[in-house]
Amino acid sequence: MENDALRRLHYAAAIACGVFAALVVHILLTMLGFSLASVLRDGGAGHRPQLVSALAWWSIAGAGFLGGWISGAYLIAAARERAFIYRLAQRFLIAVVFAVATAGGVMSKTGNVGGTVDVIAGLTALALGLICAYCGARLAYLNAEQV
């Protein structure tokens, strides 16, 4: 029973890390001007906003999937007591948290109030990240069961 609860906790943590990675990519792309909301703002402007929105969509989905998969693989390795992977991932996670905090601080200084379009884009990024993080974490745990 305890092992099953720990496995579910690791699974939920992997999904949360994938969602976190997707939201980080969404924040960074929004800062750089490549937002999901570009097609909602300039719908009739041509193909460029659609291309920008599609690239943002795939980038957010990829970040969610990779975040869930890498976190799941890391938690599996940590549960199996592989010290090298644990130390490497610990340093990487510290760097990621520092980068996200810096990006959030820079983004909060821009003075962009936001609106309905930004809320829709943020919720879309959250949902997309959740779905892709679940798929990535599931793949990591399915691969771990085969090994």
How does pLDDT run across 71-124, given as a tens digit for each residue?
888 888 777 776 676 677 677 777 777 776 776 666 655 555 567 777 788 888
The tokens of 118 are what? 């930004």
* Number of neighbours of residue 37 by Cβ within 10 angstroms: 23
Which pLDDT does position 82 carry in this prediction? 67
Which pLDDT does position 86 carry in this prediction? 67
The tokens of 13 are what? 């943590």
List the one residue out of 141, 129, 138, 144 whose CA is nearest residue 21: 129
Within the chain, residue ranges assigned H as helices are 2-32, 38-41, 47-79, 83-108, 116-146
Predicted confidence band at 42 (pLDDT cuts at 50, 70, 90)?
Answer: low
Residue, of 84 and 29, whose pLDDT is higher: 29
Percentage of the chain modeled with pLDDT above 90? 10
Euclidean distance between CA atoms 45 and 6, whole angstroms: 51
